Structure 1
Amino acid sequence: MTNGAAGEALVRTVRANAVVFGRHDEATLEQFRDVAARAERAALMADGHLGYIMPIGGVAAYDGKVSVAGVGFDIACGNAAIRTDLALPSIAPHLDEIADTIAETISFGLGRTNRAPDAPVDHPLFSDPAWDAIPADRSAREALREKAREQLGTVGGGNHYVDLFADEEDRVWVGVHFGSRGLGFAIASGFMALASGARWGERVRETEALLDLGSDLGERYWALMHLAGAYAYAGREWVARKVVSLLGAREVQLVHNHHNFAWKEIHGGRELIVVRKGATPAFPGQLSFIGGSMGDIAVIAQGKVTDDPMVRRLQEQALFSTVHGAGRLMSRTEARGRPGGKRRKAVSGKITRPMMESWLKERGILLRGGDVDEAPQVYRRLSDVLAAQGDTIEILHTLRPIVVVMAGPDVRDPYKD
C-alpha cells in the first residue's frame, strides 16, 4: 500500500550551483557553502547537520574527483531492511525474549563478542585484488585485512542499530544501520594522511582530500572505497538475515542502500562523481530504507516515477538524492553532557534516561542498550524532513519500531557514524 508522496518541498538556492532542502543552522549552511565552492553542483538534504568538512546530508558532484571527507570515515555506512513472512501478533508475546536474544547474539561496539560461529569471515571479498591497492607494506595490508575479518558482522556503536518494525499491515521487518567499521576508518584516515603529505597510518587533521581519479592515489582510493562498500553490504546482510533466522522467519523482500559513498553518474549530460554523505540515492523507482530515531517511524521509499516537470526539476536539484534519516537537533555532548576538567568546562546534558525511557514506553518500544545521545528527543521527526524533500520520493511503507537494540552507554566506538 502506498502512503502518498512527501508533500510540498522546502527548498532554496544558496549558491548558483547549490540548493538546500529544509531548515538548517548557520554553521551547517556555511560548511555546505564551503563544499559547494569546490564542487560542480551540490545539494543539502533536509536532515542535514554539521559534520567533518562536509555536512551530514550533503551531496556534492565533482568533475573526475572524489572527496575523501565527503564519503567520510564510515565508508559505505547504510541501511538494510528485510520484510519477513511474520505478522506482529505471532511474535508479540515473545518480544522481551527476542530483544534479549538479538542483544546476546549480535555484536555491538568494538571487536567480535557475539559468539556467532557463522559470521562470513571467509567471504570472497577477502581475496579481492583491491587489497593490493592499500598504499602500505604487506604486513600493514594483512593486519587491516585481519581486523576486517574480526569485525565483519559487528554493528558498532553510536547511532547504529538492529531494529524490529511493523508496517501498516502489521508485517514484521528487520532493519539494520551500520557501515564498514575499522576498515573504512583506516582507508579514510590513510588517504587523508597521504593527501596531506604524511605517511599511511599517520594521524593528521581532517581535510577534504579531493583526489583526481586519474591519479594513482585516486585510483587506489576508488578501488578501496568499493571494497569497503562490498564489506559493508556483506556485514549488513549477514546481520539482518541472522536476525530473521533468530525469529524463525523467512525473507520476503530485501531493501538495501549505502548513504556514505560516491558514484559515477550522468547529470545534465555529463559524467560526474557524486559524493553522498548521509544522503540516500533516490533515482526514479529506486528503493531505499530510511530510518528515523529509536522512537520514531522509518520508511521504505522509492524515487518518484513521474512526468511532472516541477517534480522532475526538484529531483534534479537534489541530484536524485534524499534524506538518510531524521537528522540531529543537538550534538552528543549537548544531549548527555560531559564532566569538567582542567582544560574544559563541564556541560550539563539536556536529555535524561528517564526522559528517553518515557518516550519509548508511551509507544510500546522495547530498548536494549542505547544512550541519551541517541534519544528520540535528539532528532527531528522523520515525517518533517521527508515533507521538506517534497514529492521527490514516494513512501511505500511506514514502519513503526517494536524492538530497538543498540550499543550501551558503556561502549566506546571510534568507528561510529
Structure 2
Amino acid sequence: MRIFGQHDENTIRQIQDVASRAEQTALMADGHVGYTMPIGGVAAYRDKVSVVGVGFDIACGNAAIRTDLTVADITGGLTLPEVQRNPHRLAEDRQARRMADEIQHAISFGIGRKNNADDAPTDDPLFLDAAWYAIPNVGGYRDTLQDKARRQLGTVGSGNHYVDVFADEAGTVWVGVHFGSRGLGHTIASDFLSLSQGGDWGQRAREAEVLLDLQQPLGHDYWRLMELAGRYAYTGREWVARKVVQMLGGTELELVHNHHNFAWKEQHTTKSGETAEMVVVRKGATPAFPGQKGFIGGSMGDDAVIVRGAEAPDEETAAAQREAMFSTVHGAGRVMSRTAAAGKVHRKTGRVITPGRISREMVSDWLGKRGVILRGGGLDEAPQAYRRLPKVLEAQGATIHIEHVLRPLIVVMAGAGEIDPYKD
C-alpha cells in the first residue's frame, strides 16, 4: 500500500480495511475519512466494483477550459500584475462583480434544482442509451428518474461544488467547474446498495461495503449505469463550463476534464506480481497516467492547478506512480468537518445548537486579502476548513508536474445553508 502525506488514524484504518479486500490500494495526500472508503483512496479489484467506493456522487469530477481572454477582458481593464499588487481592486471592480452576479443567476446552484436555461441539454443523446433499461419501470420508476435527470442536467448542486473564473500565471482566463451526476448518480448508488442487501429499487439501505461481481447480473447492470452516470456528469460539466465561457465572451482553446469518483478497467500489477486487467476505484482521486492532464481545485480562496502525470520518470518516481495506480489528489482535502467549521443550527428556528470554529468575518478577511469575488458559499466550505493545496501536491512528489497555477478571481457556489443529498 502506498500512502502519500500524513493522515489521522481513522483515515489509515479505513484504507487498511479496504486493503483487506482489494488487490492493491493507495491513499493520496488529500485523504480523509469517507463512507467505508476514505476520500483520496484508490483500490483495485479483480472483476469486482465497490459501490460505496465509487460513492453516492458517481462521476463527480473537475473540468477546466482555457480561453482566449485575459484578466483585462473580464474586468474594467485590470491586468494580472495590478490584481496581484492590489487585490482589493478586483473585489471592487464593477465589471467583474457584474459577471459574478450573472453567473450566479444563469447557472442553477443548490439542492434539487432544475436547469432553467433555454439551451439546457435536455435532449442529449445519453437519454437514449440502452443502459436506462436496466432500471425497472414499475410504477413509472425509470421514467421518473429519467425526467429528474433531464431537469437536473447542467445544475451544479451545493457543498463544495462550484463554478470558478481563474487567471493563470500569464493572465489567461480559465473557467473551472466541480460537480457530479446529481440525483441520477445518487439514486443509482442508493438502489444498488439496497439491491445488494436484499432490498428493492427505491428502498433505503445502510451504508456498508458492497463488492459487486461484474460477471453477475447485478454487477453488470451497476457497471452500465455507473458509466451512464459518468457520461451524464461529463455532459453537465462541459455544458456549464462552456456556458460560462460564452457569457464571458471568450473562445475555448483547451479542455481538461477528469472524473474523481469512478471506476475504470485498467492494467495493473496483482498481489501475485502478474499484470492483469483490474477494476480501479478512485474515490476522490484523479487519474494521472504519464502525460495525462488533470484540473485540481483548492478551496474557495486558494489557487487551483493544471497538472500532468510524470513522463519518463526516474525509477523511484516510476515506482511511486505504479503504486499509486497512476493517481493523484482531487483537491486540497478537508482538515475540519462541515459541522466543526460551520457549527450546527436548528433548521426551523435558526437557533445555534453548536457554534462553529469559523466565522463569516474570518472568511471575508481571507478572501479580501486575495481579492476573490464570492457569490454563495457557506462557512463549511471556508478556506480554513481545508489543507493548503501546495503542501498536498508536494506530498505527491514527482509523480505529477504542475503546468499552470490558477488564481481564483470569481467563485460562485450554492448559498449558505443549502443541504444537498447529491454532493460528494
Query: Shift in Å at residue 19 of structure 1?
Result: 1.8
Residue deviations 1:336-366, cap 9 Å, x none?
111479xxx9422000111011100100100
Structure 1 counterpart of 2:226? 225
Cα separation, 2, equivalents of 1:173 and 1:38: 41
Residue deviations 1:242-272, cap 9 Å, x none?
0001001100100000000000000121111
Provide the aligned length of Structure 1 versus Structure 2. Answer: 397
Cα pair 1:153 1:235 within 8 Å, conserved: yes
Residue identity in the other structure for 1:262:
A
Query: Shift in Å at residue 115 of structure 1?
Result: 3.1
Structure 1 counterpart of 2:324? 318
Cα pair 2:63 2:258 within 8 Å, conserved: yes
* 1:35 lines up with 2:18 in the alignment: yes
Structure 1 residues 401 and 355, CA gap change in structure 2 (3 angstroms): same
Residue identity in the other structure for 1:208:
E
Cα separation, 2, equivalents of 1:129 and 1:87: 43
Cα pair 2:134 2:221 within 8 Å, conserved: yes
Structure 2 counterpart of 1:289? 295
Cα separation, 2, equivalents of 1:167 and 1:65: 41
3-state SS, counterpart of residue 150 of structure 2? helix
Structure 1 counterpart of 2:154? 153
Structure 2 counterpart of 1:119? 120
Structure 2 counterpart of 1:46? 29
Residue identity in the other structure for 1:27:
N
Query: Shift in Å at residue 207 of structure 1?
Result: 1.3
Residue identity in the other structure for 1:353:
R
Structure 2 counterpart of 1:278? 284
Residue identity in the other structure for 2:309:
G
Cα pair 1:105 1:114 within 8 Å, conserved: no
Structure 2 counterpart of 1:12? none
3-state SS, counterpart of residue 75 of structure 2? helix
Residue identity in the other structure for 1:28:
T
Cα separation, 2, equivalents of 1:138 and 1:279: 38
Query: Shift in Å at residue 412 of structure 1?
Result: 2.2
TM-score scaled to structure 2, two decimals? 0.92
Query: Shift in Å at residue 208 of structure 1?
Result: 1.4
Residue identity in the other structure for 2:399:
T
Residue identity in the other structure for 1:191:
F
Cα separation, 1, equivalents of 2:136 and 2:114: 30
Cα separation, 1, equivalents of 2:68 and 2:327: 30
Structure 1 counterpart of 2:166? 165
Query: Shift in Å at residue 138 of structure 1?
Result: 6.6
Cα separation, 1, equivalents of 2:394 and 2:148: 41
Structure 1 counterpart of 2:338? 332
Structure 1 residues 138 and 263, CA gap change in structure 2 (3 angstroms): farther
Structure 2 counterpart of 1:365? 372
Residue identity in the other structure for 2:75:
A
Q: Structure 1: which 4+ aligned runs deviate by more than 6 Å?
A: none
Cα pair 1:106 1:154 within 8 Å, conserved: yes
Residue deviations 1:75-133, cap 9 Å, x none?
00000000010000121221001000000000001344553110100000001000011
Q: What residue ranges of structure 1 are gaps of 5+ in the alignment?
A: 1-17
Structure 1 counterpart of 2:82? none
Cα pair 2:23 2:45 within 8 Å, conserved: yes
Structure 1 counterpart of 2:83? none
Structure 2 counterpart of 1:392? 399
Cα pair 2:66 2:252 within 8 Å, conserved: yes
Cα separation, 2, equivalents of 1:357 and 1:317: 41
TM-score scaled to structure 1, two decimals? 0.93
Residue deviations 1:199-234, cap 9 Å, x none?
111101101110000000000000000000000000
3-state SS, counterpart of residue 140 of structure 1? helix
Percent identical across equivalent pairs? 63
Cα pair 2:49 2:211 within 8 Å, conserved: yes
Structure 1 residues 135 and 69, CA gap change in structure 2 (3 angstroms): farther
1:76-225 map, 5 Å: 76-93=59-76, 94-113=95-114, 115-135=116-136, 137=138, 139-225=140-226
Structure 1 counterpart of 2:90? none
